[in-house]
Amino acid sequence: MSDLTAVSLFAGVGGFDLAMQRKGIKTVATVEIDKNARGVLERRFPDATHFTDVTKVTGDELRAAGFIPSRGIITGGFPCQDLSVAGKRAGLAGKRSGLYWEIIRLVDELSPAYLVLENVPGLLSSNGGRDMGTVIGALSTRGYGVSWRVLDAQYFGVAQRRRRVFIVGCLNDGERSSQILALSESLSGNTSKSRKKREESSISVAGSIA
C-alpha cells in the first residue's frame, strides 16, 4: 500500500483520483467548482475534503486535509478553453486557462514531490509555443524536473480518440519524470486480453509514482 497522498485540482468527476486509488494512493482533497461534478466526487471519495474554488483554497487548508507535500502529488487537468484550437486561443492570458497560475501558487505554498498535469495538445502550439514554454519554465525554476508527452486515450482502454498532453514534474529529480512517462501504447485488437492490458496501462503513471 502506498503512503502517497494526493490533491486533485480541477478534479472533474475524479479520473485522476480513480487511477491513483487503484494504486493505493489516497486523494485527501479535491477542488472542483462544478456542483454536479463535485457531487460525484463526494460520493466516490467520501473521506476526502472537497473544496469549490481553486482561487481561494490555500496550502494550509490542503495540509489540514491530510496532504503531505514531501510524499504528495498534485494533479490538475487545468481549463483548456483558451488553449484549444477550436477556441479563441487567448492562451495562458485567458481567464480560464490562466488558472494554471493557481497551480503554481499552490506549488509555491506546498512544494509537492510530484505534479501530474493534463491539457489539450493545443497547449503545445498556443501563442506560437510560448505558452508551453511558460508552463514548463514556471515548474523548472521551482526545482522540478519536467517531462511531457501526448497520449491518446483510445490506446488505454477508452472507446474514443482523445489526445491529451500530460506533464509530469518531479521535485529535484531530472530523470524521474521521463521514466514515469515511458509508457507503451498498443494498437492491438479489442480482445478481452488486450483491453485488460490497456486498462492496466491507463494507471501506469500513478503506479510509476507509487
138-154 residue pLDDT tens: 999 999 999 999 988 87
Which pLDDT score is estimated for 57?
97
According to CATH, the topology of domain 5-209 is: Rossmann fold (3.40.50)
pLDDT value at 191 more than 70 = no
Calpha distance 60→110 (Å, rounded):
8
Closest CA to 164 of 149, 179, 186: 149
From 80, 116, 120, 132, the catalytic residue: 80
pLDDT at 127: 79
Beta-bridge partners for 116: 75, 168
Q: Is 170 a catalytic residue?
A: no
Cell 486557462 -> residue: 97
Q: Return the pLDDT at 128.
A: 83
At 7, is the pLDDT very low, low, confident or very high (cuts 50, 70, 90)?
Answer: very high
| CA dist list (Å): 174 to 39, 145, 158 | 38, 4, 31
- DSSP state at residue 94: S
